[in-house]
Amino acid sequence: MTSSLPYKTKQFFFVLIKLSIVVGAFYFIYNKIVNNNDISFSTFIDFLLKNESFSIKNVAFLILLSVFNWFFEILKWQHLVGFVKKINFKNALEQSLGALTASLITPNRIGDYGAKAIYYSTKYRKRIILINLLSNLLQMSATLIFGAIGFSFFIIEYDPNLNYYKLTRFLVIALLIISLIGFGITKKNFTIKGFSIEKIKKFLYGYPKTKLLLGFMFSIMRYAVFSFQFYFLLRLFDVEISYLNSMIVITSIYLLASIIPSIFVFDVIIKGSIAVYLFAYLGISEFIILSVVTIMWILNFVLPSFFGSYYVLNFNLPKNSDPT
């Protein structure tokens, strides 16, 4: 249908789509921050302005931690995608932040897969989607490993009032679903949205293990940065807590939040609810925890999405060549 449209008309619609993505992302960010039922935006701002701990030096350090957070994510993407197509750090930066903005309002940031793939010509796109899946699985692995350790210590230390019957039932159902999916995948004629399982397995088995290992190390470094940033914010709010005790709770928060499906823009609500519940065992104020979660969301997703909007607006579809 679009092939019959004049070039200028197609360009107009393309620009309109890019503007819609940016405007839509900014609207949802604005709506989430201003119309947050859990924490009043005006009270939140007044509290920050009156808190002397948020000096220019401390704010600069928080922003620096966010820069390192995305620095490791960009390095990971550059490194992993290099197996298919070599790109430089600037290309990886553009793709990572541009995809963040474009996928901000999609469920569980599922739009990130298509947003990154569209930077490449058609012959690369399926492999780019698979590499993006690998990247996310590596980050999830770090979250699950540290989260399982942290949550185990949390249960031992604080003995939370959990419904172990429901928890066991959930785990059994989850294992059954995974087993059924695994059984279906073993069928050679099984396909997922045009992806042949045999080709996927061949690609994954052939992917260099050294690249996966380095990608996992980048995931761990990123995890260490944003979990420390959470702890640093707690200290800025004058919360008396040791680093070890805070990590037990923080890793548990990211573990539980990662296994709950959500529309990404409401991720801050889910993390906030879980954080409030877990930190209540340490007697920490609900307002402080919600403030910390909100600041983390602003620093690590809202702020980068502003830079990502520049790349979205300046994006052009690849022609015969790919990023170099």
For the chain (length 324 residues), average pLDDT per consecutive 10? 60 79 80 73 79 86 96 97 93 94 80 90 90 93 94 88 63 67 56 64 85 96 97 93 94 87 56 86 90 92 92 81 49
pLDDT at site 320: 54
pLDDT at site 188: 53
Inter-residue long-range contacts of 313-321, CB under 8 Å, 24+ positions, other chains counted: 313/18, 313/19, 313/22, 315/18, 315/98, 315/119, 317/14, 317/118, 318/119, 318/120, 318/121, 319/121, 320/121, 321/121
What is the residue-wise DSSP string for 256-273? HHHTS--BGGGHHHHHHH
pTM of the model: 0.84
pLDDT at site 186: 57
pLDDT at site 5: 60
pLDDT at site 228: 97
DSSP H or E stretch at residue 195? strand 195-196
pLDDT at site 110: 83
pLDDT at site 176: 74
CB 301 within 8 A of CB 100: yes
Q: Which two tokens stand for residue 141?
A: 């692995």
How many Cα atoms sit within 13 Å of 228 on the Cβ side?
14
pLDDT at site 300: 94
Residue type, 194: G
Triad 164, 166, 168: Cα angle to 5°: 65
pLDDT at site 263: 47
